Structure 1
């Protein structure tokens, strides 16, 4: 999915992803919805895959800073700023195999998202500016992960609501914190505070909320002093082992998640808030 891209081509392409490029060649990628915290819906999910493809294809940048906006790194899945929920199809109610094809398309986008993040060709500094409870694997694939004091990590969109956690978090958490801790987090949906995440090795530094992005810029400017090819090949060096893990397990996990979704989506097609019981049936 990665092809040659230039900042001018993608800077205004995505409504949920804002880009700024500094004179030193540092690219700031800020996730948002309407200037507030990112709301995960299918559009922002699919656009993130494409946005990272553009970043990965930009050979002019020297460092990437990836962060969220507002109080949270991201917000509840499908929860619009006005509190309304998008209307999603009940896939198993679609005629023929259309629903199965739609689920497969979602898995395809997720596969692209993971690989496009890993294919970013320069050092990536992730700034988790607040709670991160969906797709935490994205910032955790950064080379340096910073977090605000009020941040925490949690996977509420999978096992706690009745889905297989197979779209990337099953790879990154055991890779970073060990198999036992990783599967414990995914099975319980526990909130992992930023400082504990640092103790576990998933986060490099924790700072006050108002200071964490400034610290990222400080680090980025220091990194950007190095030769361009040194930066690019160091990123490739550091992602090689993680790419092996994703190559071995991402398709496997997505396959199991997609298969099991055939049971979930007759109940989950409306994408209600994620703290509901998985088998609750509010749809008629």
Structure 2
């Protein structure tokens, strides 16, 4: 079992603070809004494992920094998926980003502090999702010319429904916070200054429940996502890799 002192400062893209069993996890990039990097992709799953193994975490709040959750990436190497070893590593890391999140037994409240256009799925897949009024949601795969695989296709179609989910993913649709509320992506839309206070209020109400009631309820509520990811995640990441391999092959075939 990990203890907070062992992992609180272990991940440079996460700030962690705990009070009365409520762990607040804030995504950031050098103190500013989150930027998805190769390092985050490779190690976020281990962070979830540390958080999940610490039974002193009764409820978890996830949020971002500033007025934006995440809209950009840095240093990503698309060719990393185009070798057998790269595909194996990238698929493992991508699976861990979500599988280990689903395996956390403590309930997770997401407080989406602004536009979530890159890996907003990490937020909307949680047990309660709150959004600031100026938050927007988009999936990044099509804009990056990537196959919509891994688990994005599962999460967004589960949440939005098949018809809306396909449209959202294929067109790069941007959902406003109000649309996200209307479509069932988020539970509440709040002024930004009320976002974390509301998340903390909900967390404090939850921890009044017996600890195993909370933990086992989280397991029960997330069984469908865990099952679907187990069935479709590996295949989805393989399809991403094949798409990227095709891009590299076409680029190499073009005359100089």
Per the normalisation by structure 2, the TM-score is 0.93
Matched, 1:179 2:175: no
The 1:216/1:181 distance shift into structure 2, 3 A limit, reads same
- Considering fraction of residues, name the structure with more helix: 2
User: Which of 14, 28, 32 is the aligned partner of 1:32?
Assistant: 28
Q: Check whether the contact 1:71–1:130 (CA below 8 A) recurs between aligned residues.
A: yes
Deviations 1:156-196 (A, max 9, x none): 2x123311110211011111110011111110111011111
Offset at residue 47 of structure 1 (A): 2.4
Which stretches in structure 1 are left out of the alignment for 5+ residues?
A: 79-85, 93-97, 269-280
- Secondary structure (helix, strand or coil) at the match of 2:52 reads helix
Matched, 1:57 2:53: yes
Matched, 1:121 2:117: no
User: Stretches of 4+ moved more than 6 A in 1?
Assistant: none
User: Which of 233, 239, 242 is the aligned partner of 1:256?
Assistant: 239
- Secondary structure (helix, strand or coil) at the match of 2:99 reads helix
- What is the rounded CA distance, in whole Å, between the counterparts of 1:195 and 1:176 in structure 2? 15
1:107-256 equivalence runs, <5 A: 107-156=91-140, 158-256=141-239
Aligned to 2:4: 7
User: Which of 10, 20, 24 is the aligned partner of 2:17?
Assistant: 20
More deviation in 256-265 or 186-195? 256-265
- What is the rounded CA distance, in whole Å, between the counterparts of 1:243 and 1:170 in structure 2? 14
Deviations 1:32-90 (A, max 9, x none): 01110011110122222211111111112110001111121113111xxxxxxx38474
Deviations 1:188-235 (A, max 9, x none): 111011111111111000001111111101111111111111110110
Deviations 1:145-164 (A, max 9, x none): 000011111012x1233111
Which stretches in structure 2 are left out of the alignment for 5+ residues?
A: none
- Secondary structure (helix, strand or coil) at the match of 1:161 reads coil
Offset at residue 9 of structure 1 (A): 1.1
Q: Check whether the contact 2:59–2:107 (CA below 8 A) recurs between aligned residues.
A: yes
The 1:49/1:267 distance shift into structure 2, 3 A limit, reads farther
Per the normalisation by structure 1, the TM-score is 0.84
Aligned residue-pair number: 253
